[in-house]
Chain A
Amino acid sequence: MTAEANDPRLSIAAGGNASFRPLLEWLARRAEPVAIGLVAILIGLALFSLFILAIGKSPVTLFQLMYTGGFGSWFSIQNSLSRAAPLLLTALCVALPARLGLVIIGAEGAVVLGGVAAAASAMPFVGIVPPIVLFIFMGFAAMVVGGIWIGFAGFLRHYRGVNETISSLLLAYIAIALMNQFVEGLLRDPASLNKPSTKPLPKEYMLGQIPGMDVHWGLVIGVVACILSWVLIEITSFGFAARIAGGNVRAAQIQGLPVGKLIVGFTAIAGGFAGLAGMIEVAAVQGSANASLAAGYGYTGILVAFLARHNPLAIIPVAILLGGISASGGLIQRRMGLPDATVLVLQGTLFIVILFCETFYGRFKIFNPDLWKRSH
């Protein structure tokens, strides 16, 4: 018996029923998160507009600037896409464990240590191996270190009963201290004076731009990671087992599923992706590991994952949207004289409203085919 045979959606898609009802049911279930999500975003924007009105500025001007700064021109679109790249990976670090019912909020730790591991593993090989080999080294090192870091939180959760939210957060703070120690001490480039950094990568060893665009290859890596994660969760039996364990741990254990291995495996893969985000920051943006690695991508990734309802494919548009919002921060600051934290206020408002709107799931008959019969 394969896992696929158990998935009711697949048997519907196979067309077992000749009527249109399966299609309608499928559409209704799919429409629910989209409709509720859009309404939540509209409520969030309305509340934020009230705040902007209260401090005496025009929300219309602000939203126009936000559009211009994020998506108004080819230049700003490319800027938004560049900012979306690390968010795709840090959001996966939250979304994958969430399928197992785990709330991991320490992606930042895997990002910074992934960056340090990438920089450290590159050092002995610069100038000896071709760039592509170096990138593979760096990516591998970053994924291993990030995977160990978040996987450890998963391990503690299953084998020691330590709450993963708290432990991943503590690990993030420990990771930042470790990064500072490495960058200030063992790995410090003596030439970096004011801003302690590792030895910078030569230009030809930087992860370049996607041909024809001013966006680095990190975007492609992030999108591929999202698609792979979707396949992992939705198609493989590994992902199916994880979804069962996320739904009910007891049931999964009774079925003989290796819950411990699933938890450690999923958190390790998740951490590997966040580590990869650190490698991209080093290889494509900073050119070295330094304190800028702790730029908050791990925390914004939490927001992206929750907005996307932990669906890896939905992460792609949401990350680009949030990348655009953060890219427009500078323009809002210059044109309207508002602090750069404006974007943070907007993000926080949206986040709260969207989580609040979870309460409306399953409350509307139109989205729930099981209730259709009773209405007639």
Chain B
Amino acid sequence: MEDTGIGLWGVPLAIFAGAIRVSTPFIFVSLGETITERSGRINLGLEGTLVFGAMTAYAVAVMTGSPTLGVLAAMATGAMFGTIHGWICKWPKVNDIAIGIAMMQFGLGLAFFLGKSFIQPVAPKLPSIPLGGWSAVPQVQAALNINVLFFIGAALALFLWWAFKNTRIGLILRVVGDSTDAARAMGISPDRVRLLATAAGGSLAAIGGAYLSLFYPGSWNEGISSGQGLMAVALVIFARWNPIGCFLAALLFGGAGALGPALQSVGVTQGYYLFYAAPYVLTLIILIATSSPTRSLAGAPGALSLTK
């Protein structure tokens, strides 16, 4: 361990760096899912949206040379997927959880189909901000090389937290999510609000995908997402539909995900794959600890089918 210069300090540093690097897609997907679920609908299809967003962002960045255009294009496709989900789910007897699984398969299939020819070319990466200039240690510098999307995600979490409480749109969203009848009584169309909320959620999830293909790991292939889109659904429950909670939970997930690689880098190779499971085990334990068979979860939108 002498050659790294920082020895075992590499472990917490790697977990810290990993938390920031790995958490960004979680931040965006979970914020998107929070918007959707606050409106009383659940979208399990965000995994497909995320992967399709990753493919779109990569393809557009390869073709135009601009990663920013890539992110914008991904947002457009994400909104489109969300709109399809929202439109189908407004019909009676259609199960939003099952449609989500179907949209996930469709999104994955379409992304693999259209993205086949973009596995080889190299896309320009998203810019990041080097905050580690003060340190002479290269590991610290690398760890503090933080992508702009991380900061945008953090700001967005704050903004949504404020907006849910203090804006008219936030109030409408919460009313629709808590009681379809109350919303109708107020003259709000629940279907339209849910459609827009699902579209917004899809659009944010696609940014998470764009981050995966344009920054970390920074390439497009069929295994780019290891379930981030689906994990986000659990993460939103964990965060109790609170945007700030989503941000913190995403950091925790990112850190848990970085545990395995960090330990491996200092020579701990036993049980490597079990560390891979850490974020999933963590989520499950938290779900078990915080759920109750007799009452619905605190903070859950009343019209949400998932927690009834």
Contact = CB atoms under 8 A, between A and B. Distances in A.
B109 A348 contact: yes
Contacts of B283: 170
A346 B109 CA distance: 8
Interface in B24-56: 44, 48
Interface stretch (A155-163, A225-233, A237-245): A155-163
Most buried by A among B105, B270, B287, B307: B105
B306 interface: yes
Contacts of A177: 273-274, 276-277, 280
Interface stretch (B93-101, B145-153, B166-174, B180-188): B93-101
Interface string B212-244: 000000000000000100110110010000000
A341 B95 contact: no
A78 interface: no
A184 B102 contact: no
B293 interface: yes
A344 B234 CA distance: 26
Interface stretch (B2-10, B110-118, B136-144, B200-208): B110-118
For chain A, the bracket of interface size reads 35 or more
B116 A341 contact: yes
Given A103-B98, A161-B292, A345 B110 contact: yes
A346 B102 CA distance: 11
Contacts of A170: 231, 234, 280-281, 283-284, 287
Nearest to B110: A345
B92 interface: yes
Given A341-B116, A348-B110, A351-B102, A356 B91 contact: yes
Interface in A21-72: none
A359 B109 contact: no
B294 interface: yes
B102 A348 contact: yes
Contacts of A174: 277, 280-281, 284
Interface stretch (A81-89, A202-210, A267-275, A299-307): A299-307
A103 B98 CA distance: 8
B175 interface: no
B176 interface: no
Nearest to B113: A341
Given A177-B277, A302-B101, A165 B93 contact: no
Contacts of A351: 101-102, 105-106
Contacts of A343: 109
B291 A178 contact: no
A166 interface: yes
A342 B109 CA distance: 7
A184 to B, nearest CB: 6
Given A161-B293, A163-B306, A341 B109 contact: yes
A181 B109 contact: no
Interface in B277-299: 277, 280-281, 283-284, 287-288, 291-295
B116 A356 contact: no
Given A181-B274, A339-B112, A356 B94 contact: yes
Nearest to B99: A355
- Interface of chain B, helix or strand or loop or mixed? helix
A361 interface: yes
A187 to B, nearest CB: 12
A347 interface: yes
- State which size class the interface on B falls in: 35 or more
Interface string B261-272: 000000000111
Nearest to A358: B93
A282 B112 CA distance: 28
B103 A165 contact: no
B93 A348 contact: no
A306 B102 CA distance: 10
B107 interface: yes
Nearest to A182: B273
A352 interface: yes
B107 A348 contact: yes
A161 B233 CA distance: 16
Contacts of B163: none
Given A166-B233, A167-B284, A344 B292 contact: no
B155 interface: no
A359 B91 contact: yes
Contacts of B105: 299, 303, 344, 347-348, 351
Given A161-B292, A166-B233, A170-B284, A347 B109 contact: yes
Interface string A255-285: 0000000000000000000000000000000
Interface string A304-344: 00100000000000000000000000000000001111111
A351 B284 CA distance: 28
A345 B280 contact: no
Contacts of B281: 170, 174
A358 B106 contact: no
B197 interface: no
B158 interface: no
Nearest to A345: B109
B57 interface: no
A344 B291 contact: no
Nearest to B107: A348
B245 to A, nearest CB: 17
Given A170-B287, A348-B48, A352-B103, 10 more contacts: A169-B230, A171-B284, A173-B227, A173-B280, A347-B109, A348-B107, A352-B106, A355-B88, A359-B91, A362-B93
25 contacts: A103-B98, A160-B291, A161-B291, A162-B287, A163-B291, A165-B306, A170-B287, A174-B277, A174-B280, A177-B276, A177-B277, A181-B274, A184-B273, A185-B273, A306-B102, A343-B109, A344-B105, A344-B109, A344-B112, A346-B109, A348-B102, A348-B107, A348-B109, A351-B105, A359-B94
Interface of A: 103, 105, 156, 158-163, 165-167, 169-171, 173-174, 177-178, 180-181, 184-185, 299, 302-303, 306, 338-349, 351-352, 355-356, 358-359, 361-362
Interface of B: 44, 48, 88, 91-95, 97-99, 101-103, 105-110, 112-113, 116, 227, 230-231, 233-234, 237, 270-274, 276-277, 280-281, 283-284, 287-288, 291-295, 306-307
